[in-house]
Amino acid sequence: MTMTDPNAEFWDKQSSAFTAHDGQRRSYHAEFAAVLNRRLTGDVLCVGGLYQNADPNRVPPFSVVDVSEHMLQVWASRGARVQVGDARRLPIADASVDHVVFPLVLHHITDGRAAASRANVTACFREAHRVLRPGGTVWAIEILVSGPVYAVELALAPVTRAALATRRIPLVVFHSRHFYLSQLEVAGFAGASLEFSDADDGRWYDLVKPVVGLDLRVPKVMVPVKYGLLRGVKPA
Ligand SMILES: C[S@@+](CC[C@H](N)C(=O)[O-])C[C@H]1O[C@@H](n2cnc3c(N)ncnc32)[C@H](O)[C@@H]1O
């Protein structure tokens, strides 16, 4: 394990809480899993763990790459073949899988800075492109914000980072729809698309947890996010 990687250390510590709360399962998890369980055929690589509601008896099993050895134990207990590794430098051969899935991980790979978090998304998509066979598909389940909210979020990232650091939580950055779709194209994917979920729209005053690891619930109106399933195809 890379004990010097604060992200890996954070997730090692989160693994038991994550299992106990089952990833704070929400309705959009089931909605996107229904799409993925239908569409994922052949060799599937999930980066940053399995998606919630992934079939534990799938043949061939899902392959999972994750920075956290403790989280890998969770994925192994759900039937996956697991390997420690970073989404930006996948320990996977070129053109060897049919699908790559990033389930709720890209917003966590920030290196504590807004600019680095954007460069990391591009690096992750480039790695997905490298390991996919021609005609293969990349998928990402993500939390997205509107353009104006994104601009404010990026500007305030140093403040957010400092606040989260007081609780030993690494910075998270929720990107915009435009940014994700543009970076899929930059990485070489065709037909980039995004499907939003309306499953968790709820009422403005419903209490939600804004950040994993923070023991805080706030009214939904204070967390203006949407949940989406991104997709891009590596040209054949
Ligand atoms: C929010 S959890 C998502 C877990 C699961 N995929 C889900 O949908 O519920 C983020 C996961 O990504 C992993 N992770 C964080 N940074 C990573 C990186 N740079 N490369 C690979 N995995 C990473 C964490 O260890 C953790 O398992």
User: Amino acid identity, residue 1?
Assistant: M
Task: Give a yes or no: residue 163 inside a domain.
Answer: yes
Q: Place 15 in a pLDDT band, splitting at 50, 70 and 90.
A: confident
Residue 17's closest CA among 236, 214, 218?
214
Task: Give a yes or no: residue 84 inside a domain.
Answer: yes
For 64-77, the pLDDT digits (tens) are: 999 999 999 999 99
Q: Place 217 in a pLDDT band, splitting at 50, 70 and 90.
A: confident
Q: Which residue has a Cα nearest atom 7 of ligand 1? A: 51
Task: Give a yes or no: residue 78 inside a domain.
Answer: yes
Q: Place 165 in a pLDDT band, splitting at 50, 70 and 90.
A: very high
Contact 90, 67 (CB under 8 A): no
Task: Give a yes or no: residue 93 inside a domain.
Answer: yes
Domain count, the chain: 1
Q: Place 105 in a pLDDT band, splitting at 50, 70 and 90.
A: very high
pLDDT greater at residue 46 or residue 214: 46
Task: Give a yes or no: residue 1 inside a domain.
Answer: no
For 116-136, the pLDDT digits (tens) are: 999 999 999 999 999 999 999
Res. 205: pLDDT tops 60: yes
Is residue 90 left, alpha or beta, with left meaning phi > 0 and alpha meaning psi from -120 to 50?
A: beta
Range of the domain at 180: 6-233
CA of 232 to the centre of ligand 1 (A): 20
Task: Give a yes or no: residue 37 inside a domain.
Answer: yes
For 87-96, the pLDDT digits (tens) are: 999 999 999 9
Cis upstream peptide for 60 (omega within 30°): yes
What token pair was written down for 25?
A: 């399962």
Task: Give a yes or no: residue 60 inside a domain.
Answer: yes
Collapsing DSSP to helix, strand or coil, 58 comes out as coil
User: The domain that contains 114 carries what CATH number?
Assistant: 3.40.50.150
Task: Give a yes or no: residue 21 inside a domain.
Answer: yes
CA of 48 to the centre of ligand 1 (A): 3
Measure Cα distances from 143 to 2, 8, 42, 151, 235 in Å: 27, 21, 27, 15, 26
